[in-house]
């Protein structure tokens, strides 16, 4: 901003007056901005230089004097405001520009590093919280238990849902290291009173081995949820082949092969296993097909397990 300034000193009256006005106002205002009584006789000499000086402590700022006039014992000559030179362009030295660039770059890198560190810390704590588990002592008494963190990583946080059944949702996963594809069934809302009996039964089912039963790889308890890890069946359930409007058509030979396999599986559950296991829910959606379209019976024993939990609930309520 360009302004005009009038600085006047009356030696007889010992009065200093300072008046300013914008450049667009060519006339001197009638009232002074500063009017101060002071005796400058000890400072003013008979012969001395007249000039300008200023200071703003540690701040850096530039001021330009475009024109000035001086007089003693009389009026100062008027300035021709139309002939004032233009304000020179600010040319910052190259070393100062480079220094500012380095400072801004370092500040930006530090800010990005701080954001990255905070983000990694938040994600790590969040993942640790999601995969943390509280294991009770009795759980170690039953075999085939898998760490919850392993199941969480295998399913990538339970992202790929295969379907929903009467006992809960089913998710696809791949076990780390071994690379085995699995189907994880999440059975929710199990009571703490019945959980131990439930785990005992599931653990015993994990010892079953038959070519026409879906093998149970392991189990895990997470809060009130029970996770059952089964082998993955590439061709899905039988109902998707029988009732789907589009897709594969099963021949009579393939259907007979599937029925024969399910019959062998039921025979194993009823007569060949160490104790009788009644499925109670044999239907097309519980018959799964492997890569060679062999019939595998799934969800065996879960109906009886739920009956066990129902009996426990009734005893507790009564």
**What is d(CA 132, CA 222) in angstroms, rounded to the nearest whole number?**
9
Strand partners, 145: 219
**What is d(CA 295, CA 287) in angstroms, rounded to the nearest whole number?**
6
Cα 312 to the center of its chain, rounded Å: 42
Q: Is 54 left (phi over 0), alpha (psi -120 to 50) or beta?
A: beta
Q: Is 281 a catalytic residue?
A: yes
Strand partners, 183: 172, 230
Residue where the block lists tokens 């058509």: 249
Catalytic residue among 39, 80, 141, 281: 281
Here the tokens at position 230 are: 């089964």
**What is d(CA 2, CA 112) in angstroms, rounded to the nearest whole number?**
42
From the list 88, 49, 82, 92, the residue with the least C-alpha distance to 65 is 88
Give the three-state DSSP class for 227.
Answer: strand
Residue 58 assigned as binding residue: no
Report the alpha-carbon angle 108-109-114, nearest 5.
100
CB 259 within 8 A of CB 284: no
Strand partners, 141: none
Here the tokens at position 92 are: 């910052």
Where do runs of H (alpha helix) occur along 132-244? 148-154, 192-205, 238-242
Annotated binding site for ATP: 186
Task: List the catalytic residues.
Answer: 281
């Amino acid at each position: 901003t360009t302004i005009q300034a009038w600085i006047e000193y009356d030696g007889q009256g010992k009065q200093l007056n300072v008046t300013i006005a914008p450049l667009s106002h060519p006339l001197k205002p009638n009232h002074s901005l500063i009017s101060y009584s002071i005796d400058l006789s000890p400072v003013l000499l008979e012969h001395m230089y007249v000039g300008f000086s200023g200071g703003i402590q540690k701040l850096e700022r530039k001021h330009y004097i475009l024109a000035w006039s001086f007089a003693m014992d009389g009026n100062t000559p008027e300035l021709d405001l139309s002939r004032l030179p233009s304000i020179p362009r600010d040319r910052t030295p190259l070393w100062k520009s480079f220094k500012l660039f380095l400072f801004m770059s370092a500040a930006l890198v530090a800010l990005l590093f701080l954001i990255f560190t905070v983000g990694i810390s938040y994600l790590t704590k969040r993942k640790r919280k999601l995969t943390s588990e509280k294991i009770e002592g009795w759980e170690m008494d039953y075999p085939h238990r898998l760490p919850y963190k392993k199941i969480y990583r295998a399913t990538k946080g339970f992202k790929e849902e295969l379907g929903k059944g009467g006992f809960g949702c089913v998710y696809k996963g791949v076990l780390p290291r071994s690379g085995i594809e699995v189907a994880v069934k999440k059975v929710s809302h199990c009571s703490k009173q019945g959980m131990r009996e439930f785990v005992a039964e599931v653990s015993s089912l994990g010892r079953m081995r038959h070519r026409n039963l879906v093998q149970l790889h392991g189990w895990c308890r997470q809060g009130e949820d029970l996770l059952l890890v089964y082998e993955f069946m590439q061709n899905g359930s039988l109902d998707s082949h029988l009732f789907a409007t589009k897709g594969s058509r099963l021949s009579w030979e393939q259907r007979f092969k599937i029925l024969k396999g399910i019959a062998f599986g039921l025979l194993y559950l009823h007569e060949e296993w160490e104790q009788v296991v009644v499925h109670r829910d044999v239907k097309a959606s519980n018959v799964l097909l492997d890569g060679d379209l062999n019939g595998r019976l799934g969800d065996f024993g879960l109906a009886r397990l739920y009956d066990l939990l129902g009996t426990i609930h009734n005893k507790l309520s009564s």
